[in-house]
Amino acid sequence: MPASGVMDTLKQAAASAGGFVELRYHAKTSRSVVVEKGQVESSSSRSVAGLGVRVLENGAWGFASTGSSEPADVKRAIESARAAASSGASLRSEAVADLPEAELATGDFSQPGVDEIEQRSLEEKVGMARKLEEAVRGSSSSVSSATCGYSEIFEEKAIVTTDGAAASFRLVRPELRLQAVAEKNGEMSTGFEAVGTTGGWECLFRHGDGEYFAGKAARTAVDLLSAGHPQGGRASVILAPSIVGLLVHEAIGHTVEADFVQAGSVAAGKLGQRVASDLVTLCDSGASELEDGAGGTIPVDDEGVLAGRTVIIRDGILESYLHNRESAARYGVAPTGNARAWEYADEPLIRMRNTYLEPGQTSLEEMIASTSHGYLLDGPRNGQADATGEFMFGVQEAREIKDGKLGALVKGVTVTGIAFDVLSTVDSVSDSFRWDLGSGYCGKGQPAKVDAGGPYIRCKALLGGEQ
C-alpha cells in the first residue's frame, strides 16, 4: 500500500490512542543483479512492508511491529506496545523523561529520482551490469575475474505521532559496485569501485559513467600487482574524501551519538573543548549538503523530526552530539533528527545520516607540493573504530609522496590512530568536496544507509605495512 494511502489510518489510530504513540509505516523494495565472469550470478527482488509502533508509557518504551496496516491490526499493535512498555517500567531506576518539543514534520517530503528509476526496465539494468562486468574483464589480460553488482532500494514512509508529526516521503537509493581481480605469476590483487546515491541515475553517475568506474577498478587491480609495501610507522598522510568520510563517520561520528556518549565514549564531557585543529568543521546532515545525492539523505527522521544539519565540531571545538528525542531531553537540547530504523520491525536508534568535513581553501596540488614525505591515501577497504576513538581503515590505493611529488603505488596499507588526536594534526584542508561513501552501510544492531565525505586533508597517522 502506498504510504499516502496509509496516512489516514495512522492519523485515526493516533487520534484515539491516548498518551504518546509513534506510528511508522515503512515499505521497502530492493532489487539487485550480480554479474560475475560473464554469468548472471543472481537476480532478486525483496519487498518488506509493515508498521512499527512505539509507545512511551509510565516512563518506559514499548515497541511492536506488524506486517499489516489494517486498522484492527494497527490497534492491536498499539496494545502490544503498551503491554511491553508496562513490563519494563517497573524495572527502570529512572523514568524516561517526557519528550521535548521538536520541529515535527507535516506534509510530503518525497525525494527526486523515484519515478525515473522505476520506469527504467529490468532489462536495461541487467544489460548495464553485464556490459560493465565485460568491460572490467576486457580491460587487461591480467584481469582474471570481474564482478558487477547493481542494486536499488525504494522506500516509502508515513510517520505519525500523537504530538503532531504527520509526514510521508518516497525515495530511491541506487548503487553500483565493480570489482576486478588481477593475477600474474601466482600473485593476485583486487580493485574495487562503488557508488551509491539518493536520487536518479544522473545523480549516481555524477562523478563518471559506468565505464569510467569499470576502467578504474581494473586499472587499480593491475597496478597493485607490481606495487610494493610502505614502511610502517607514523607518517604524514593526505586523506582523500573517501578516507576522510570513513574517518568522520567511524571514528568521530559514532563517539558523538548521544547513546554512546551516555555509555562513556571518548566524547563524553568534551562539549565546548578543543578536540581538533581549528581547520576542522565537521557536520552531520539529513540533507545532501554541498553536493546533490548523498546516500544517507533523509528528509524526516523516524520520530517525525525534520532531519537538518548539525555542526558537531566547529573550528576545532566540539559543539554538539547527535540526538533522538529521548537523549535531547536528557541533555536539555533540541533533537537533531538522528533517530533511524532500518525496516518497519526495527525500533529507531540514534544513527548518522550524511557526515562530512567542510572544505577549506587549499588546492590538492598545493597540498601535495608542500609535503616533503608522506602518502596520499584513497579508497577505503573497510573500517572500524572504538569507544576510545581509535580507528583502523584498510586503504586500497596509497601513493608515496617524496619532495612534493606523487610517487609509486604501494599496497597492503592500513591507517590507524586516535581520531581526535589525528584531527588535531590537520594542517591543510582542500577547497574541493565530494560525497564518497554512498554505497556504504553502517552497522549498529541494525543496518543504516549512510554517506560521508569531505575535502582532502593532510594530517599525521600510523601506517601499517611491512616492517
Distance CA 97, CA 58 (A): 10
Site membership for other proteins, residue 417 (CB under 8 A): yes
Distance CA 326, CA 54 (A): 13
Site membership for other proteins, residue 394 (CB under 8 A): yes
Residues 330-349 that bind other proteins (CB under 8 A): 345, 347
Q: Which residue from 184, 373, 381, 405 is in contact with other proteins, where contact means CB under 8 A?
A: 381
Distance CA 387, CA 252 (A): 10
To other proteins, the closest distance from the beta carbon of 158 in angstroms equals 17
Locate all alpha helices (DSSP H) within 234-360, ordered by sequence: 241-246, 258-263, 325-331
Closer to other proteins by Cβ: residue 109 or 260: 260
C-alpha cell at 140: 587487461
Site membership for other proteins, residue 92 (CB under 8 A): yes
Site membership for other proteins, residue 404 (CB under 8 A): no
Closest of 442, 423, 462 to residue 282, by C-alpha: 423
Q: Which residue from 84, 167, 248, 367 is in contact with other proteins, where contact means CB under 8 A?
A: 84
To other proteins, the closest distance from the beta carbon of 312 in angstroms equals 19
User: Reduced to 3 states, what is the DSSP secondary structure of residue 2?
Assistant: coil
Q: Which residue from 392, 425, 446, 460 is in contact with other proteins, where contact means CB under 8 A?
A: 392
The DSSP secondary structure of 209-253, one letter per residue, reads -HHHHHHHHHHHHHHHHT-B-PBPEEEEEEE-HHHHHHIIIIIII
To other proteins, the closest distance from the beta carbon of 297 in angstroms equals 25
Residues 212-241 that bind other proteins (CB under 8 A): 232-234
Name the CA radius of gyration of the chain, rounded. 23
Site membership for other proteins, residue 141 (CB under 8 A): no
Site membership for other proteins, residue 412 (CB under 8 A): yes
To other proteins, the closest distance from the beta carbon of 368 in angstroms equals 24
CA angle, 350 then 163 then 446, to 5°? 20
Site membership for other proteins, residue 3 (CB under 8 A): no
Kindly compute the dihedral angle of the four CA atoms of residues 283, 287, 289, 293, in this order, to the nearest 10 degrees: 130
Strand pairing of 339-340 and 282-285? unpaired
Site membership for other proteins, residue 62 (CB under 8 A): yes
To other proteins, the closest distance from the beta carbon of 206 in angstroms equals 27
Phi, psi torsion values for 7, nearest 5 degrees: -55, -45
Closer to other proteins by Cβ: residue 265 or 371: 265
Q: For residue 27, what is the enclosing H or E element?
A: strand 20-36
- Single out the segment in contact with other proteins by CB under 8 A; choices: 143-151, 152-160, 272-280, 305-313: 143-151
Closer to other proteins by Cβ: residue 25 or 63: 63
Residues 244-283 that bind other proteins (CB under 8 A): 259-260, 262-266, 268
**DSSP class of 128:** H
Q: Would you say 416 and 461 are in contact if contact means Cβ atoms under 8 Å apart?
A: yes
**Interface map 447-466 toward other proteins (x if CB under 8 A):** ---------------x-xxx
Distance CA 157, CA 26 (A): 5
Q: Which residue from 8, 16, 18, 83 is in contact with other proteins, where contact means CB under 8 A?
A: 83
**Interface map 21-60 toward other proteins (x if CB under 8 A):** ---------------xx-xx-xxxxxxxxx---x-----x
